[in-house]
Amino acid sequence: MSTGPRALTGPAFVPLARPDMGEAELSAVAEVLASGWLTTGPRVKAFEAAFAQHVGAQEAVALNSCTAGLHLALLACAVAPGDEVVTTPLTFCATANAILHAGATPVFADVDRDTGTLSVAAATAALTPRTRVLLPVHHAGRPADPLAFRALADGRGLRVVEDAAHCVDASVHGQRIGTIADFTAFSFYSTKNLATGEGGMVTTASADEADWMRVAALHGLSRDAWARYAPGAPAQYDVVMAGFKYNMMDLQAALGLAQLARLAEMQAHRARLWDRYESGLRALPLGRPAPLPEGWTHARHLYTVMVEPDRCGWTRDALQAALGREGIGTSVHFRALHLHTYYAQRFSLDRGMFPNAEHHSDHALSLPFWSGMPLADADRVVETIARLVSGRA
């Protein structure tokens, strides 16, 4: 008996994340294509202005990635070989790589066990006379106590660069992320709350440093292509530094403007999904995101549970594999950097040095979560986890 077509049917796959694009984004891209100007131009400038206004920052510099933003921010802080930047091992490799590309040395400090964000106490203990910058990472959408890091930096004569790849639209006591640090780098990667496919933004209060970053982001040219090739503009330019190719395109900025206009709506749906997970998973023997202090808002980029064998009968990796067989996508945020071969070998790091980061690295599991995700998919995820865990706990 044939089992062909019927054997291939079953519940649809629930992805970890997917870009939430609609007619507004399609129209925005079509307008750029029709304009004949695809690269850095008027829409990039409009996106910078709109994002700065949304965040409440003095300046916003649009770039091709958050990684580029971190790199330029560190260079703007004048870090150099021999300098140290204190950061967390519980982050994507781009955080540490940007420090290395700027010529400095990443110094890891452990995270808070409950929140997964860089511990202020651990960061303080990691300071040396060579420390120049603090680089906290806002993890999964939860702010990494930016006011505490600002106070620590001000007291020690340091600068603060925030990795806010996960943290568009979060705030602490009325101050949005992007207005507290010297520089804050955001990501607009395709799975982020605000997506342009690839792309990033750096906010800062310094007009001079923002202008420097714009020049550095485009080969060190004194004038960008729009200024050179717009009707009536002189085409001559000067090279004032050995810059980089970090500029954002108008195609990306058009998506960003459309997404920014929809951000409140998309964030509201993330809140509904978050509440669905919170209520559905509350009775299960899994760790859930730590509550926020009063006056803080969460960007709700990821919904992550802690899977501990002595509580639920599953290892994280086994539960992840089981969910995959059920058609549910998940991910790990993150395998701690000091457990990766490159950083372990280069900086003589080993397991046991950052136990809280290792706890998250070993047990955290990010569930499907994106602003276009149907609530029914969240219910399916909850029901599947409940069925799997109840058979083991």
8 Å CB contact between 304 and 333: yes
Query: CB count, 10 Å around CB of 358?
Result: 20
φ and ψ at 387, to 5 degrees? -65, -45
Residue with tokens 């806010």: 164
Is 45 marked active-site?
no
Among 133, 259, 145, smallest CA distance to 201 is for 259
Buried b / exposed e along 115-139 (16+ C-beta atoms within 10 A): bbbbbbebbbebbeeebbbbbbbbb
3-class secondary structure, 167: coil
Catalytic residue among 132, 159, 192, 360: 192
Any idea what the Cα angle at residue 284 is, between residues 279 and 289, rounded to 5°? Answer: 60
Dihedral (CA of 349, 353, 356, 359) sign: positive
3-class secondary structure, 331: strand
Among 87, 107, 47, smallest CA distance to 260 is for 47
Q: Which helix (H) or strand (E) holds 62?
A: strand 59-63
Any idea what the Cα angle at residue 389 is, between residues 369 and 366, rounded to 5°? Answer: 25
Helical pair 93-101 and 66-76, crossing angle rounded to 10 deg: 40
Q: How many CA atoms lie within 13 A of 217 on its CB side?
A: 31
Residues involved in catalysis: 192
